[in-house]
């Protein structure tokens, strides 16, 4: 396997799971298109981390947990505003599994997030209460990994929050935009591009990364 990226670089592959792809319960439009791009990109990295949304049944972010509420409504929870989602990535379900065409056998870590019933978790680094840490930043530091490349689903939620938190934790960050797709709730894709630009986080295509 030929790997061309520098040793301190890590590819963080976000939530390439059945429920986030066409046919899934929270499908990101054209989400399946990122898989071959990510597979090819991963071959260039010595270090790869995968994240996996991993919700218990009845998770507080599910619309079904709130009588008279519908998916994509926003409510206030103790930690702030929360978009309500269709039930998705329930622990042990087929929807929570990685897509079978995701072929990254050399991935060194699978980080599961969103498993606390009372708190949603978009970011790979920090849950939505913005105080509960996943431990990923410490793992990367102890491994000597300093630059994080992000790819996956969805661009405007889990990729965005992971990128923001990686930068906040002191890492150099690059988003590989052609290896992402967005779900676009109320203009969230454009809001993500603006936020990443404010943070000086580059959005590049896989072919331009060196």
Positions marked catalytic: 15, 113, 158
The sheet with strand 147-153 has its strands ordered as 109-113, 48-53, 9-14, 147-153, 172-181, 203-204
Q: State the Cα–Cα distance between residues 184 and 190, nearest whole angstrom.
A: 8
The residue whose two tokens read 């898989």 is: 35
Phi, psi dihedrals of residue 44, rounded to the nearest 5°: -95, -5
Which helix (H) or strand (E) segment is 164 a member of? helix 160-168
Which helix (H) or strand (E) segment is 185 a member of? none
DSSP 46-101: S-EEEEEE-BPTT-TTBGGGSTT--TT-EEEETTEEEE-B-S-SBTTSGGGSBPTT
Phi, psi dihedrals of residue 68, rounded to the nearest 5°: 70, 15
């Amino acid at each position: 396997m030929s790997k061309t990226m520098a040793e301190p670089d890590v590819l963080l592959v976000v939530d390439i799971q059945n429920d986030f792809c066409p046919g899934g319960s929270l499908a990101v439009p054209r989400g399946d298109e990122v898989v071959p791009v990510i597979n090819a990109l991963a071959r260039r990295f010595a270090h790869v981390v995968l994240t996996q949304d991993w919700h218990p049944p009845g998770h507080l972010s599910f619309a079904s947990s709130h009588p008279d509420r519908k998916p994509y409504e926003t409510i206030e929870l103790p930690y702030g505003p929360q978009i309500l989602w269709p039930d998705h990535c329930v622990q042990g379900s087929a929807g929570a599994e990685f897509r079978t065409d995701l072929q990254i056998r050399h991935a060194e870590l699978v980080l599961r997030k969103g498993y606390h019933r009372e708190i949603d978790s978009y970011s790979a680094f920090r849950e939505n209460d913005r105080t509960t840490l996943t431990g990923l930043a410490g793992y990367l530091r102890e491994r000597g990994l300093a630059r994080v490349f992000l790819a996956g689903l969805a661009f405007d939620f889990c990729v965005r929050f992971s990128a923001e938190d990686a930068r906040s934790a002191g890492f150099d960050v690059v988003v590989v935009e052609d290896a992402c797709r967005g779900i676009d709730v109320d203009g969230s894709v454009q809001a993500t591009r603006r936020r990443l630009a404010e943070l000086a986080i580059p959005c590049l295509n896989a072919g331009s990364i060196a």
